Each structure stands twice: as C-alpha cells, then as structure tokens.
Homo-oligomer: A and B are copies of this chain.
Amino acid sequence: MTVGANRMIVYLAGPDIFFPDAIEIGARKKALCRQYGIEGLYPLDEPLPTRPTRAETAMAIYQADLAMMHRADAVIANLTPFRGPSADPGTVFELAWMLAHAKPSFGYSTDPRSLHARTPPDGTTVEDFDQPENLMIACALTAAGTPLVVHEDGLTAFETCLEALCRRAAHASTSDRPGI
C-alpha cells in the first residue's frame, strides 16, 4: 500500500450502485478520494458489459468487479442496511473477499442502531451483542483494527473511513522506511 508517487487505489463497495443517483454517489466518493490523493474504483466506472445471455452478462460484471478488487489496495464498504436489517450481500461478499486477501478493509453504516434493535422479531434468534451488524462482519472488522464506522450521514462516514485508510497507509509507509 503506497501513497505519494504510486497512488493508492481503493475499491468502493456498496449498494450505492442500485440507487437512482448511483452515478452521482460514485462521482462524489471518487472526488473525495482524490482530495486524499487516492484513486477510487467504482463498479459503474465502465459501462456495464452486455453479452448474449443474462447469465453471461452477470458473469462479465462479476469478473469486472473482481478485477477491480484485485487491482485495489483496499476497500471501503457501505454496510448500511439494504432490503432488510443487514447490509447488501454483494457488498458483504466483497468485504469478506478483501479481508481474506489481507487488504485494508473499512466499512460504514448510516444506521446507529444495533442489529438486534433494528431486526423485527420473526421467531428466530436475533443475536444480541450490541454490534452494528452480524458478528462475523462486525468482529472481522474490529479484529482487523478497523471497526465499523457509524454516522447518520453516509458521506461523512465514508470520509472517516478514507481518513483512517490514509493514517494506515502513512503508518505502513513509515514502518517500511529502513532505519526508522
């Protein structure tokens, strides 16, 4: 992970791509990244591929997103609840993949409630550990030293993640210097 001459690259994961203002959200996030000297990769940066069948189109999108994740040094994931009490599952998949590849991984949510507080009773056990998400997600981030950021304004939460990423990159850069 580098800053300076080699610009750091961060993958911007989230259900943002499904919102009516998906392009604008991506542009705002990428502009914020640039302010920090970071390049943001957003899944909608390129036109969606089209293939003869829907299954082939899906696979082409998957491969394009995976290529971005390979290229990125880090990920910032929007884990705000989406279509239910938890984060978008595609975003969760990408976050876990980046964590498993030991890339610095950050997550944020605009929902200040615990998972338990926001999950309607349905006869199943709702985990009650005062965590902002399912414990596999929340604790994986905590264990990685990057606990899930919660702020009711999404862009503020995103910027908090960007700042943390820069601090980590600066620290890594300093640690790399021989003799210091």
Residue positions of A touching B, CB distance < 8 A: 15, 17-20, 22, 54-55, 57-59, 61-63, 65-66, 83-90, 92-97, 99-101, 119, 122-131, 133-140, 142-143
Contact = CB atoms under 8 A, between A and B. Distances in A.
A54 B130 CA distance: 7
A37 to B, nearest CB: 28
9 contacts: A17-B125, A54-B129, A54-B131, A58-B127, A62-B139, A63-B139, A89-B133, A93-B136, A93-B140
A124 to B, nearest CB: 4
Contact of A58 (B19, B88, B139): B139
A58 B139 CA distance: 7
B137 A89 contact: yes
Given A55-B131, A131-B58, A19 B100 contact: no
8 A-B pairs with least C-beta separation: A84-B84, A100-B100, A62-B139, A96-B96, A58-B129, A90-B134, A90-B136, A18-B124
A64 to B, nearest CB: 11
A109 to B, nearest CB: 12
